[in-house]
Protein backbone atom coordinates (compact mmCIF):
# COMPACT_ATOMS: atom_id res chain seq x y z
CA UNK A 1 0.00 0.00 0.00
CA UNK A 2 1.32 3.42 -0.97
CA UNK A 3 1.57 5.50 2.18
CA UNK A 4 2.85 8.94 3.16
CA UNK A 5 3.18 9.97 6.80
CA UNK A 6 4.04 13.53 7.77
CA UNK A 7 5.53 14.68 11.06
CA UNK A 8 7.17 17.71 12.60
CA UNK A 9 4.29 20.13 12.82
CA UNK A 10 3.62 22.25 15.88
CA UNK A 11 3.42 25.72 17.34
CA UNK A 12 6.14 28.17 16.37
CA UNK A 13 6.56 31.89 16.92
CA UNK A 14 6.56 34.36 14.05
CA UNK A 15 10.03 34.54 12.55
CA UNK A 16 10.83 31.04 13.73
CA UNK A 17 11.73 27.87 11.87
CA UNK A 18 10.32 24.37 11.59
CA UNK A 19 11.28 21.25 9.67
CA UNK A 20 8.62 18.89 8.40
CA UNK A 21 9.28 15.29 7.43
CA UNK A 22 7.37 12.84 5.28
CA UNK A 23 8.03 9.10 5.40
CA UNK A 24 7.10 7.24 2.23
CA UNK A 25 6.41 3.54 1.79
CA UNK A 26 4.85 1.14 -0.68
CA UNK A 27 6.47 2.55 -3.82
CA UNK A 28 9.90 3.32 -5.29
CA UNK A 29 10.35 6.73 -3.68
CA UNK A 30 13.38 7.74 -5.75
CA UNK A 31 11.39 7.39 -9.00
CA UNK A 32 8.78 10.02 -8.21
CA UNK A 33 8.55 13.78 -7.94
CA UNK A 34 7.34 14.79 -4.49
CA UNK A 35 5.43 17.82 -3.26
CA UNK A 36 4.24 19.75 -0.26
CA UNK A 37 0.75 21.27 -0.36
CA UNK A 38 -0.85 23.24 2.47
CA UNK A 39 -4.43 23.89 3.40
CA UNK A 40 -5.70 26.85 5.34
CA UNK A 41 -9.24 27.44 6.53
CA UNK A 42 -9.56 30.67 4.66
CA UNK A 43 -7.58 30.06 1.45
CA UNK A 44 -8.12 26.40 0.69
CA UNK A 45 -5.31 24.42 -0.94
CA UNK A 46 -1.99 25.98 -1.89
CA UNK A 47 0.97 24.28 -3.54
CA UNK A 48 4.12 24.92 -1.52
CA UNK A 49 7.00 23.14 -3.22
CA UNK A 50 8.14 20.31 -5.45
CA UNK A 51 11.30 18.28 -5.86
CA UNK A 52 12.07 16.18 -8.89
CA UNK A 53 13.84 12.85 -9.05
CA UNK A 54 17.07 14.62 -9.94
CA UNK A 55 16.77 17.00 -6.99
CA UNK A 56 15.46 19.93 -9.01
CA UNK A 57 13.22 22.14 -6.89
CA UNK A 58 10.25 24.40 -7.55
CA UNK A 59 8.45 26.96 -5.39
CA UNK A 60 5.66 29.51 -5.73
CA UNK A 61 6.52 33.12 -5.01
CA UNK A 62 4.80 33.08 -1.63
CA UNK A 63 7.43 30.80 -0.06
CA UNK A 64 10.45 31.14 -2.35
CA UNK A 65 13.51 32.09 -0.33
CA UNK A 66 11.93 31.02 2.97
CA UNK A 67 11.12 27.33 2.41
CA UNK A 68 13.47 24.59 1.21
CA UNK A 69 12.34 21.19 0.03
CA UNK A 70 14.73 18.26 0.07
CA UNK A 71 14.70 14.49 -0.14
CA UNK A 72 16.76 11.58 1.13
CA UNK A 73 16.09 8.63 -1.13
CA UNK A 74 18.03 6.18 1.03
CA UNK A 75 15.55 6.86 3.81
CA UNK A 76 12.46 7.22 1.60
CA UNK A 77 11.99 10.62 3.16
CA UNK A 78 10.90 14.09 2.07
CA UNK A 79 11.56 17.24 4.06
CA UNK A 80 10.42 20.85 4.18
CA UNK A 81 12.58 23.38 6.00
CA UNK A 82 10.49 26.45 6.79
CA UNK A 83 12.22 29.66 7.90
CA UNK A 84 10.99 33.18 8.66
CA UNK A 85 7.55 31.82 9.39
CA UNK A 86 4.56 34.14 9.36
CA UNK A 87 1.03 33.91 10.68
CA UNK A 88 -0.13 33.37 7.10
CA UNK A 89 1.87 30.12 6.97
CA UNK A 90 -0.48 28.57 9.52
CA UNK A 91 -1.98 25.54 7.81
CA UNK A 92 -2.13 21.79 7.56
CA UNK A 93 0.83 20.69 5.47
CA UNK A 94 0.43 17.65 3.25
CA UNK A 95 3.07 15.59 1.56
CA UNK A 96 1.94 14.26 -1.82
CA UNK A 97 3.35 12.12 -4.60
CA UNK A 98 3.43 13.95 -7.90
CA UNK A 99 2.37 12.26 -11.13
CA UNK A 100 2.56 13.68 -14.63
CA UNK A 101 5.52 16.00 -14.63
CA UNK A 102 6.88 19.50 -14.96
CA UNK A 103 6.24 19.76 -18.70
CA UNK A 104 2.48 19.20 -18.66
CA UNK A 105 1.71 19.65 -15.00
CA UNK A 106 1.44 17.43 -11.97
CA UNK A 107 -1.45 15.82 -10.21
CA UNK A 108 -1.16 14.40 -6.72
CA UNK A 109 -1.84 10.85 -5.62
CA UNK A 110 -1.80 9.94 -2.82
CA UNK A 111 -1.68 12.55 -0.07
CA UNK A 112 -0.48 12.04 3.47
CA UNK A 113 -2.68 12.67 6.49
CA UNK A 114 -1.17 16.12 7.04
CA UNK A 115 0.61 17.85 9.90
CA UNK A 116 -0.59 21.10 11.47
CA UNK A 117 1.71 24.09 11.64
CA UNK A 118 0.59 27.01 13.77
CA UNK A 119 2.54 30.26 13.67
CA UNK A 120 1.58 32.41 16.62
CA UNK A 121 3.09 34.29 19.52
Partner 1 sequence: SYDLTQPPSVSVSPGQTASITCSGDTLGNNYACWYQQKPGQSPVLVIYQDSKRPSGIPERFSGSNSGNTATLTISGTQAMDEADYYCQAWDSSTVVFGGGTKLTVL
Residues contributing to the site for partner 1 (CB under 8 A): 35, 37, 44-47, 50, 58, 60, 94, 99-100, 102, 104-114
Q: What is the spatial distance between Cα 83 and Cα 16, in angstroms, rounded to a whole number?
A: 6
Task: In angstroms, give the least distance from the CB of 94 to partner 1.
Answer: 6
Distance in Å, CB of 31 to partner 1, minimum: 18
Is residue 48 within 8 Å of 58, Cβ to Cβ? no
Cβ proximity to partner 1: between 1 and 31 the closer is: 1
Whether 116 and 20 have beta carbons less than 8 Å apart is answered as no
- Please state the closest distance from residue 117 (CB atom) to partner 1, in A: 16
121 vs 111: CA distance, rounded Å? 30
Amino acid sequence: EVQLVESGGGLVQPGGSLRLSCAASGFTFSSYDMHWVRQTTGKGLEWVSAIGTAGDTYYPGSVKGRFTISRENAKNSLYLQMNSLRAGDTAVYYCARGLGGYSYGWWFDPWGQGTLVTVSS
